[in-house]
Structure 1
């Protein structure tokens, strides 16, 4: 096993003694000595440490016997899985076998090379650099990138270079030259094949139209092919989730013709997948490499395929109906999404509860008491009418004092938190710092890619056994120090014993600060510091004691068989809330007011009207919790769904309270969906879809069977939508602005136009358009994108016009 900086000097010297190596030298010398020895003698292929999925895979294989299929059937099968269909039957069978059941017993010595060339591919440039720094001997690597200073996470939009880092070491016991590079996320995007119109029947046809993958940027596909040329082995260091697994196969698509083919003729023999949660886990991960999981890739393909078809079809139809019936209004693309729709429903339903709330009025008798110079208020139960409360108050007018007849104490304890998962991080950042879910994830991903925290997309809250807590505490102290606190650093983590709290769902460890101490080159900005601070506080707090408090239930006897109760809440021990102050319970005054038998004086008696308050609008934090509870989206996609309803102006965000308020457009969409397709607002529908997709990933259900089943369910809903939505179009008249006077009617506005209506008619056009300054301005700006083109789905809104003509317009 490769060792790293986490080992103490004494442990390293002991290991050297076991291996018969010298025990002298600095810590890094000992690490290099052990790693070199282990790599030189370990020529056995590494085995996977994850559960064997063979049983699940067999469920798929038993349904379809590929050997008994004809060549035509095999090509159809491969096309369904988005795999190449060229070759004879033997080639097709080998391709299916290679992707579904890759072999992990290939001996790299069969490559017959003195030095092999290994390609590492990370998901982001910053992660590629962290991997090179972690795995290169003495953290030394050569930067061969073009314009390396300009390469960042947004280079895919602005540049034409990728990161290229090189170092030399050993791989599976063989001397190796390593090349480390990265993608910028997904390399390909899905879109419909061919041209497609905008009429009703043409829109519905998109449910069955073939979907193809096209490169997001031409340069990345080309650069990956160039960098991989001549490589013998590929190790994929993509994020360990469904999206990361899909990117693995996108990378393979780019490099399959460039890397050296092994003697077996199957490139999957030399392709490996690293499972890790942070860059510091790389030494362990490289000794436990596995194969890419094609079933997880299929689950991701099914998800993207369904979201594209359902989203585009519903969006295009409702937008076309609105534009055809409200022709004088400037209507942008009105988007529908299988996840954003129930997300909108949560916001609207809470809004309806708030505005339709009927306050309940109660009347209470409030008595001011004093004892030994201390004052306290006690309040009666609520009365339905003011007269009842006044009757009680009048009966107490001559009362000079009362008696404390009982004081009952109840103790409470609030346990320290378990590990931090993605949902909790999003909620805390929204409540405490006012960060949107998108902002939080962007910052967390930056911290992850620079090696400061573990992978930020996880549902697990149970700490791993090899936590190395003391090293993490040291890194926190050096990185930010939580300088505003008086910290007893030595006593925060007294032992390496893992706290037995939380659950392990089998994905990643909780979000943790790593053992990495950052340098000036990775200096954190204000937002990154706040998120890192929150993650660090949560980690340290989990090792502190519980938060203890008690409640005193005090009963006051005011005579005439009248008793008033007062609950007093007092903190006994702050415990973990010393680091998480927002978790403290609220305290109330009066804890030392008096003991049982005391006789407080009555100072005043008055009547108070108590009016119940409506529920507040839903907050970001509450919405995140509801989406997790109902399994709408994943921990990685929830920020995007909330961001969509904000971007598309279905809701607005009140920045101070972080509450989401539906706009008129959001309210009208909800009403139309509620009347036409109420099932689409039901949160359990998306939860069912997500569960079925995971069964593809786990090998329990067939890819095409699940995809077809879900698609057919939405096609039935679409039929109801088409039959009923048009009658709700007039209700949207207050949701959009009027068109400009010189607005030119476009083809997508006429998809439902009656045959006798004139085509290509300019509205309010002057007799001489060349003399109309508005028209001149229109002509000058024809090279710019239209205001509706900002939405990624808009390219499907204007399909009747060929792509080249749309660009010219």
Structure 2
């Protein structure tokens, strides 16, 4: 038995570290937290000192037992979880739950998983930092208090199954407020004037009026003034300029840049970065620091000189926004800066290269530019055109990397030809194009992270789970907003002739931006109305500062919680008792035939339209379509919903109708339901269209082959393309042509699946319907029907008896409800 037990939180990290330590060290994983607050109770002593009641979840009990057995035999237990507050809490839980003697514990931290970093950490152990543990406890308990007390209020006052959270609710508020800014925005027109000129060299370049013209008549008048005009350069200035590289990545800037350049969702960025870190390829990926170690700067300098030359090297330090104890030692960088790229999977390779480029660029010379400004005068009026150009005289860091931007309207300055002051110019054309002011842009995941960071809300470790949570809760979705056509005017002056034409453009379309749902808006409005403090941006940022103060040992976490709870709890009780129920109800008008009230509101199964006031005895209801929202639907659109269902007739002796349901519009053919393609209006579906959809459905459901005389079907589900055989779903990987699967492909897929199922099967009692299978992480499960029992890791499967496994199943299986009717006693 090894004298030293090292416990980390992930198996991948354990595998990497094990390579660097000798035979005297055994490295095990805790698979994250081994203890947490139970899900079905508050588990916080709000009457006393706010002490949380932690438990070991059922799925971790066997692991904890195994780790305790290993720890009891070891001379020293090295707690090597991550160096942030979360990691410190994991180390503390391990010490508590494994009942480790303090003399045996050595806490080690490292910013990268390399041999030198691990050995250095072993040489410099420390004790568990209880200030960091308490900061994490304060966050966990405060978030539990907010979520556990607010969520039941939402169930009573809005809709069942909802949840609230300190950071998630503020994030939803940002998105809702932006959406309302967009809906309330009034676009104002003006005319942008552009011109094209040619100088002595014969090269054309663009110029424009610095200020737009407000009306069509004024634009027309201006163009008329240019008929017969001569043009020359009245002024030309050239100024040297410098552009500096961006700082190395922090967690939030990595999330933003990976979104802009790689189109990664925030959660994916963190998942890929975690894998790179655990493989020892990058430093720790949860950090607010923009610092690089002296060793890293020296390595970068050496690499820049070797790859690009001496003049490209400029070592520098960056100053970030200090977050106190939360700031880690370094920015995110490659552990080996001489390694430009890696050959793993595509996502890891692309993110690694982005991190490498940003790190190298941060230590490179400034780019040297020459910015040119040209002013052009006309002989017939006193308004001047301007042209701006930018020339790179020395590329510096731009040779490697340029930071992305969230500004969709940002114009890149181009090159200008050689020009001189007083030079006469030929005008090719002048246009005046009607342009409209644009509403604020919806948040992307990247721009939301940027805004949260600016407001001081949350910390690096919270951004990805927060953004995932608000989408999973259906408060926010990545919308696909269809644009609308808009007409605009364009005036042109060319060869001394003035022309006017009307053009069209599609505006307002948005893809992949964060859009609040009906339920998101309703929940937000209710919380803002009744819990202003919790939803206040300054309060949320102040809480983060309190956590930082706790981590630095400047505040007692229990006092901060007590100050918060003494006002929060009474407010919850007051709202629960006195607040009005919130349904997002909106009256649209009256029915044109009956005069009855038409309104929309949130119902049990989602957003719906209603004919009849709330106190009417007879009301009619219709679900809103997925592309409709309570706050934007019109009276006409609501009335159309009541034209459904529409009976279309019969096809193959089955009734056919079109209707709208919870999951959108569909065609019903007998007992078969066929969703309408996106964008198809159910009111315009004809019998011919319905027949085409029915035939397509029949074709899709028809067997594509047979195996052992049983049909094989194919389809596309949540996890991609699959085939179905004998009630077994088999994923089809990209190495197969899913559109043209051969009989051989199908047989291979089925046989491989059967082989895997046989390999998983360890013991089998067919007459009892009981089997023992391999599970993940070296575990075993006993399975009978829908009942699954996880065996302790130390179980000897070969020695299990039928009686033992039946007892396990009987203990786990839910008791059957009695079917006997109660009889009243007389």
TM-score by length of 1: 0.63
The residue aligned with 1:728 is: 582
Does residue 69 of structure 2 align to residue 226 of structure 1? yes
Does residue 224 of structure 2 align to residue 394 of structure 1? yes
The residue aligned with 1:571 is: 391
Does residue 90 of structure 2 align to residue 269 of structure 1? no
The residue aligned with 2:179 is: 351
Does residue 571 of structure 2 align to residue 712 of structure 1? no
Q: From the superposition, tell whether residues 590 and 451 of structure 1 become closer, same or farther in structure 2 (CA, over 3 Å).
A: closer
Q: From the superposition, tell whether residues 422 and 210 of structure 1 become closer, same or farther in structure 2 (CA, over 3 Å).
A: closer
The residue aligned with 1:502 is: 319
Give how far 1:669 is off: 1.6
Inter-partner Cα distance in structure 1 for 2:305 and 2:193: 49
Give how far 1:665 is off: 1.2
Matches within 5 A, 1:649-688: 649-654=474-479, 657-688=511-542
Contact 1:397–1:605 (8 Å) recurs in 2: no
Inter-partner Cα distance in structure 1 for 2:558 and 2:527: 28
Contact 2:312–2:396 (8 Å) recurs in 1: no
The residue aligned with 2:54 is: 213
Inter-partner Cα distance in structure 2 for 1:494 and 1:806: 73
The residue aligned with 1:748 is: none
Matches within 5 A, 1:153-168: 167-168=23-24
Inter-partner Cα distance in structure 1 for 2:231 and 2:42: 86
The residue aligned with 2:454 is: 629
Inter-partner Cα distance in structure 2 for 1:564 and 1:377: 13
Give how far 1:291 is off: 0.6
1:646-678 CA deviation, whole Å, 9 max, x = no partner?
111111114885421111111122222232223
Inter-partner Cα distance in structure 1 for 2:167 and 2:80: 29
Inter-partner Cα distance in structure 2 for 1:345 and 1:808: 45
Q: From the superposition, tell whether residues 195 and 128 of structure 1 become closer, same or farther in structure 2 (CA, over 3 Å).
A: closer
Does residue 163 of structure 2 align to residue 335 of structure 1? yes
Inter-partner Cα distance in structure 2 for 1:116 and 1:738: 58
Q: From the superposition, tell whether residues 213 and 630 of structure 1 become closer, same or farther in structure 2 (CA, over 3 Å).
A: same
Does residue 93 of structure 2 align to residue 250 of structure 1? yes
Contact 2:206–2:387 (8 Å) recurs in 1: no
The residue aligned with 1:410 is: 239
The residue aligned with 2:139 is: 303
Q: From the superposition, tell whether residues 628 and 587 of structure 1 become closer, same or farther in structure 2 (CA, over 3 Å).
A: closer
Q: Name which of structure 1's ranges 464-473 and 235-244 shifts more when overlaid on structure 2.
A: 464-473
1:676-719 CA deviation, whole Å, 9 max, x = no partner?
22333222111111221222222212232112112224325424
The residue aligned with 1:123 is: 9
Give how far 1:641 is off: 0.7
Give how far 1:337 is off: 0.4
Contact 2:305–2:312 (8 Å) recurs in 1: no
Does residue 332 of structure 2 align to residue 511 of structure 1? yes
Q: From the superposition, tell whether residues 204 and 287 of structure 1 become closer, same or farther in structure 2 (CA, over 3 Å).
A: closer
Matches within 5 A, 1:65-144: 117-136=3-22
* Secondary structure, aligned partner of 1:319: helix
The residue aligned with 2:546 is: 692
Q: From the superposition, tell whether residues 457 and 231 of structure 1 become closer, same or farther in structure 2 (CA, over 3 Å).
A: same
Give how far 1:308 is off: 1.2
1:81-133 CA deviation, whole Å, 9 max, x = no partner?
xxxxxxxxxxxxxxxxxxxxxxxxxxxxxxxxxx9922211121222222222
Q: May I ask how many residue pairs the two structures share in their alignment?
A: 561
Q: From the superposition, tell whether residues 283 and 545 of structure 1 become closer, same or farther in structure 2 (CA, over 3 Å).
A: same
Give how far 1:728 is off: 1.7
Q: Pick from 360, 364, 367 the counterpart of residue 547 of structure 1.
A: 367
Inter-partner Cα distance in structure 1 for 2:297 and 2:371: 38
1:340-381 CA deviation, whole Å, 9 max, x = no partner?
011111111111122211112223444443334333343332
Q: Pick from 461, 475, 499 the counterpart of residue 290 of structure 2.
A: 461
Inter-partner Cα distance in structure 2 for 1:130 and 1:395: 74
Which of the pair is proportionally richer in helix? 1
Contact 1:132–1:180 (8 Å) recurs in 2: yes
Inter-partner Cα distance in structure 1 for 2:80 and 2:439: 50
Q: Pick from 238, 253, 256 the counterpart of residue 424 of structure 1.
A: 253
Structure number with the bigger relative contact order (C-alpha 8 A, sep ≥ 6) is 1
Q: From the superposition, tell whether residues 349 and 235 of structure 1 become closer, same or farther in structure 2 (CA, over 3 Å).
A: same
Contact 1:207–1:310 (8 Å) recurs in 2: no
Does residue 445 of structure 2 align to residue 620 of structure 1? yes
Give how far 1:224 is off: 0.7
Inter-partner Cα distance in structure 1 for 2:527 and 2:559: 28
Contact 1:577–1:583 (8 Å) recurs in 2: no
1:441-471 CA deviation, whole Å, 9 max, x = no partner?
1111111111111111111101112226538
The residue aligned with 1:562 is: 382
Matches within 5 A, 1:756-767: none
Aligned-residue Cα RMSD (Å) equals: 3.7
Which of the pair is proportionally richer in strand? 2
1:37-90 CA deviation, whole Å, 9 max, x = no partner?
xxxxxxxxxxxxxxxxxxxxxxxxxxxxxxxxxxxxxxxxxxxxxxxxxxxxxx
Contact 1:628–1:634 (8 Å) recurs in 2: yes
Inter-partner Cα distance in structure 2 for 1:560 and 1:466: 65
Q: Pick from 13, 38, 43 the counterpart of residue 191 of structure 1.
A: 38
TM-score by length of 2: 0.62
Contact 1:192–1:212 (8 Å) recurs in 2: no
* Secondary structure, aligned partner of 1:188: coil
The residue aligned with 2:127 is: 291
Contact 2:246–2:403 (8 Å) recurs in 1: no
Q: From the superposition, tell whether residues 353 and 194 of structure 1 become closer, same or farther in structure 2 (CA, over 3 Å).
A: closer
Structure 1: which 5+ residue stretches go unaligned? 1-114, 137-166, 169-177, 197-202, 260-266, 324-330, 475-486, 740-772, 774-782, 786-802
Give how far 1:419 is off: 2.1
Give how far 1:632 is off: 1.5
Q: Name which of structure 1's ranges 572-581 and 663-672 shifts more when overlaid on structure 2.
A: 572-581
Give how far 1:591 is off: 0.9
Does residue 466 of structure 2 align to residue 645 of structure 1? no
